[in-house]
Structure 1
Amino acid sequence: MTVLPAKYRQQAALDLSKNRIAALGAIVFGIMLLVAVGRFFVQFTNLLRPAALEGSGLRDIVTVAPDGAISGAIPPQLAVGIVVALALVMVIHEPMHGPCYWHFSGKRPTLGITWLGIYVGAPSEVYFPRNQYLVVGIAPLVLSTLVGLLLVPIAPVVLVPMLILFVAFNSAGAAGDLIMVARLLFYSPDTLMQDIGTSVIVYGRGT
C-alpha cells in the first residue's frame, strides 16, 4: 500500500548499521552461516557427486588432526574461486530482493551501485505488511539455497565447487537480513514496514 492508514503511528526505526552490537552480531552470524552452509553443501555434494570435489580443495579447508586439533586453511586452488564467488554475490544477492518488492508493491524497486555492489531498494512511499517484508528479507537465502540444491546434481563438474562457494558466501551475506527478520517477528502481523534504505520504519495501530 502507498498510503499509511490513519490510525497507524511509527513504533520504531530499525537500522543495523547504527547499532554496533547488531552489526558485530551480523558479522559473527555471517561467519557461522558461511561455515555451516558451506559444510552442508560439501557433505551434500560428497554424497551425490564425490567426483565434483576431487582436486577442488573444499575438503581441505577444515582438517582434524589425529589428536583432535582442528585447523583451517584456504588451499591455493580455491583462491580464484573465492574471488569469483564473492564478486557474484555482490552482483546477484541484492537483486534477489527485487522481484519480491515488485510483486508485493506493484512498483519497480530502485536500483543503485555502491562499493559493496548492486543495491536494490524498496519503491519509495510503500508500506509492506510485516509478513510480506519477512518474505522479502529471506528471499536471497532461500532462493540461492534452493537453486544450489537443484544444480549440484546436474551442473558440470567443473562448476560445482564455484556453486558451493557462491551459495555459502551468499548465505553469509544474508546474515543482516536474517537478524532484521528476527527483530521484526516481535511485531504483530498487522504492522507495516517502510524500507528507506538502511533503515526500516515500523508502523502499528495507534491506541
Structure 2
Amino acid sequence: MRASRTPPDGYVQAGSVTLRGNRRLLLWMNVTSVPGLIIAGYGFAALASVIRPELFDDFISWLSTSWSSSAPASMTFIVALFGLLLMPFVVLVLHEAVHGLAFWLYTGTRPEFGYRGWYAYAAAPGWYLGRNQYLVVGLAPLVGISVTAIVLVPALPAPLAIVVLFGAALNAASATGDLYLCARIITTPAAAVIEDRHDGITWLVPVAVASRIPVRRVDRKPERTSRRKSL
C-alpha cells in the first residue's frame, strides 16, 4: 500500500507506544545501548578481521609511528582523533537523516527532525505507512550504515577504517529504540498502518481484526489510581 494522509476506511486504533514522558522506557533504551555497543563493536571487529585480516596489525603499526617526523602520518593521526571525537554527533545526524530519507521516499514530503534530550527523532506525523514500509524506515539506519561501513573498510587507510567501524558500532548501539519499535510492529497484522509522531507511534488495524488483538497495557507508567493506560 501507499503512504496516505488518512488511514483506510474501517480502521481503528489498536495500540501505541509513547516515548515523551515515558522515563522507564527511555531509560531502558539508553541502558541497553551500552551492552549493545560492546556486542556491536565485537561483531564489527570480527567481520572486519575476515574482510581485511591485516587491519588491526596495520593500525597498531601506524599508531606506533604516528608521532614520528612523517607529516602525513601525523596529519592522519589528527584526522582520526577528531573523527573519533566527533563520531557520536556524526552518527546521530546520519542515523536520523537515513530515517528521514526513508520517510521522504514513501511520503514525498520533508519529515520532521528534533531532539528531546533522551532521544533524537525523525518523524512523519499525519502520514500512515504500511507495516512493511514502517519496518523499512525503522531498520534503514541500522542496515544502511552498517553495510556502508563494511564496504568502506577495505578501501580506507587503517586509522580511518577503525574510525568508521567505531561509528558503525555506535550506530548499531543507538538502534535499540528502533529495534524495540520494530519488534512491536512486526507482531501486528500485515494490514496494519502506522503513524510515526515525534513522541511515539500509533498503529491502526481493520475493525474486523481489532477485536481479536489482545490489549497490551505496557510501556506507560501506572496512574496514581489502580488503572493503567492501554497502548
TM-score by length of 1: 0.78
Percent of aligned positions with the same letter in both sequences?
30
Structure 1 residue 147, shift from structure 2 partner: 0.5
Alpha carbons of structure 1 residues 56 and 81: separation in structure 2 relative to 1, 3 Å: farther
Alpha carbons of structure 1 residues 81 and 106: separation in structure 2 relative to 1, 3 Å: closer
- Kindly report the root-mean-square deviation, in angstroms, between the aligned alpha carbons of the 2 structures: 2.6
2:117 is the counterpart of 1:87: no
Instruction: Provide structure 1 residue ranges, at least 5 long, that are not aligned to the other structure.
Output: 58-77
In structure 1, C-alpha distance between the alignment counterparts of 2:176 and 2:31, rounded to whole Å? 9
Higher alpha-carbon deviation: 20-29 or 125-134: 20-29
Q: Is the 8 A contact 2:121 2:198 kept in 1?
A: no
Structure 1 residue 80, shift from structure 2 partner: 5.7
Structure 1 residue 19, shift from structure 2 partner: 4.3
Alpha carbons of structure 1 residues 21 and 116: separation in structure 2 relative to 1, 3 Å: closer
Q: Which secondary structure state, in structure 2, belongs to the residue aligned with residue 152 of structure 1?
A: helix
Structure 1 residue 24, shift from structure 2 partner: 3.9
Structure 2 residue aligned with 1:3:
6
Q: Deviations over 1:99-156 (max 9, x none)?
A: 211111222212346667974221x311011110011000100001101111111112
In structure 1, C-alpha distance between the alignment counterparts of 2:119 and 2:31, rounded to whole Å? 21
Q: Is the 8 A contact 1:90 1:117 kept in 2?
A: no
Structure 2 residue aligned with 1:133:
134
Residue identity matched to 2:16: A
Higher alpha-carbon deviation: 8-17 or 22-31: 22-31
Q: Is the 8 A contact 2:37 2:172 kept in 1?
A: yes
Q: Is the 8 A contact 2:102 2:136 kept in 1?
A: yes
Residue identity matched to 2:92: M
Q: Which secondary structure state, in structure 1, belongs to the residue aligned with residue 7 of structure 2?
A: coil
Structure 1 residue aligned with 2:103:
101
Residue identity matched to 1:171: A
Structure 1 residue aligned with 2:161:
160
**Residue of 91, 109, 112 corresponding to 1:110:** 112
Alpha carbons of structure 1 residues 128 and 16: separation in structure 2 relative to 1, 3 Å: same
How many equivalent pairs are there? 186
In structure 1, C-alpha distance between the alignment counterparts of 2:123 and 2:38, rounded to whole Å? 28
Structure 1 residue 55, shift from structure 2 partner: 7.8
Instruction: Provide structure 2 residue ranges, at least 5 long, that are not aligned to the other structure.
Output: 61-79, 209-231
Structure 1 residue 197, shift from structure 2 partner: 0.7
TM-score by length of 2: 0.71
